[in-house]
């Protein structure tokens, strides 16, 4: 390469480096300016939302563009109008994650490692507290998030029915649930096809009038699919006023004990709904203990069999209804 050619190449490289540095400087300056504008406008937007009574709405600004999130569709629509009036804001929109929220009462549940995330809109504080508290008790896990209270939404029948229906979902791993309008959508994984059928049948029974849509996957754990299917299919039923096992259920529980002895790493929960009041809880626990005792006496280690009474069904269900007189087995480790 000649001296002139080398000098031309170096000159061109120098121009390119200078151009890149200039572009980078412009980009950094724009980003810094955008952050500064956002930092200046955010307190004004927050103050406007608070003054409008929209304290639950979150607002985020990127430069002069605002996004609102974290509340009911009705309040988010109002928030867009409020933030748009803040001087300096170019436009406001609802965050993408909140754009498809139902317009009436709804509940969403999503199970993760940190706990059960809950969101939704309820017509009253009592209904919201009952559903959230029942979820925490039924799934024995922290409940993250909250249910917004919007007195303007209707109160469909499923609002009162949902707390008891949660007991039908404890066998689902990675639960995803949405109840809204006239439908319930459920997703996650279960250990067997029998478990999937039971979940769908129970939801249809406990939330009558709602269309059940499912995205449940069958994903067995360490148990073979036929063994998981046996456990998932078990439902022990008791006669009215009785805590005695029926002969046919004794046969089934003996098979369950054989299976559990063959798989010493599996633990189960013996669970059932309790009728309202102390008498209902006592009756439920007597039946749960009878099932557990039979399994332990058949050779299953006591530490591997726990018992749990789930939240009561709606008060308009008779105290001796079949829903209170049945016991299910849920695999806790497989």
Supply the pTM of this predicted model. Answer: 0.71
Look at residue 220 in the predicted model and tell me its pLDDT: 83
Mean pLDDT of 217-235: 88
Look at residue 225 in the predicted model and tell me its pLDDT: 84
Look at residue 217 in the predicted model and tell me its pLDDT: 92
* Domain boundaries, given as residue ranges, for the chain: 3-98, 103-219, 221-334
**Residue 287 above 80 pLDDT?**
yes
Percent of the chain with pLDDT over 70: 86
Nearest Cα to Cα of residue 186 among 212, 220, 218, 160: 212
CATH architecture of 103-219: 3-Layer(aba) Sandwich (3.40)
**Residue 238 above 90 pLDDT?**
yes
* Distance between CA atoms of residues 139 and 130, nearest Å: 14
**Residue 191 above 50 pLDDT?**
yes
CB of 117 closer than 8 Å to CB of 141: no
Show Cβ contacts of residue 82 under 8 Å, excluding neighbours closer than 6 positions: 48, 49, 52, 54
Mean pLDDT of 286-299: 96
The mean predicted confidence, pLDDT, of the chain is: 86
Tens-digit pLDDT profile for residues 298-322: 999 999 999 998 876 555 667 678 8
Place of tokens 């046919």: 248
Look at residue 22 in the predicted model and tell me its pLDDT: 47
SS3 state of residue 309: strand
End-to-end CA distance of the chain: 72
Look at residue 27 in the predicted model and tell me its pLDDT: 38
Q: Per this entry, what is the length of the chain?
A: 334
Tens-digit pLDDT profile for residues 20-78: 444 444 434 444 557 888 889 999 999 999 999 888 888 999 889 999 987 777 788 88
Say which CATH class 221-334 falls into: alpha beta
| Opening angle at CA 143, ends 206 and 115, nearest 5 | 100
């Amino acid at each position: 390469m000649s001296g002139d050619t080398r000098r031309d190449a170096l000159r061109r490289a120098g121009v390119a480096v200078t151009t890149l540095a200039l572009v980078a400087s412009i980009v950094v300056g724009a980003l810094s300016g955008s952050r500064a504008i956002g930092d200046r406008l955010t307190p004004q937007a927050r103050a406007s939302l608070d003054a409008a009574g929209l304290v639950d709405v979150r607002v985020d600004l990127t430069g002069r563009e605002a996004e609102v999130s974290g509340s009911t569709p009705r309040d988010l629509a109002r928030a867009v109008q409020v933030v748009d009036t803040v001087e300096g804001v170019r436009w406001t929109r609802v965050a993408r994650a909140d754009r498809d929220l139902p317009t009436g009462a709804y509940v969403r549940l999503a199970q993760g490692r940190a706990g059960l995330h809950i969101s939704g809109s309820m017509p009253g504080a009592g209904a919201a507290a009952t559903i959230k508290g029942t979820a925490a008790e039924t799934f024995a896990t922290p409940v993250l998030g909250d249910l917004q209270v919007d007195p303007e939404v209707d109160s469909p029948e499923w609002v009162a029915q949902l707390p008891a229906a949660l007991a039908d979902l404890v066998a689902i791993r990675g639960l995803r649930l949405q109840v809204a309008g006239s439908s319930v959508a459920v997703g996650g994984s279960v250990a067997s096809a029998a478990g999937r059928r039971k979940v769908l049948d129970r939801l249809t029974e406990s939330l009558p009038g709602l269309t059940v849509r499912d995205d449940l996957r069958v994903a067995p754990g360490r148990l073979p699919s036929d063994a998981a299917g046996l456990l998932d299919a078990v439902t022990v039923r008791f006669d009215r006023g009785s805590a005695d096992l029926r002969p046919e259920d004794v046969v089934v529980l003996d098979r369950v004990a054989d299976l559990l002895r063959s798989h010493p790493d599996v633990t189960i929960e013996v669970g059932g709904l309790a009728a309202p009041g102390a008498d209902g809880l006592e009756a439920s626990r007597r039946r749960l203990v009878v099932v557990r005792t039979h399994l332990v006496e058949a050779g299953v280690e006591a530490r591997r069999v726990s018992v749990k009474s789930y939240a009561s069904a709606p008060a308009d269900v008779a105290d001796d209804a079949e829903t209170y007189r049945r016991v299910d087995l849920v695999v806790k480790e497989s």
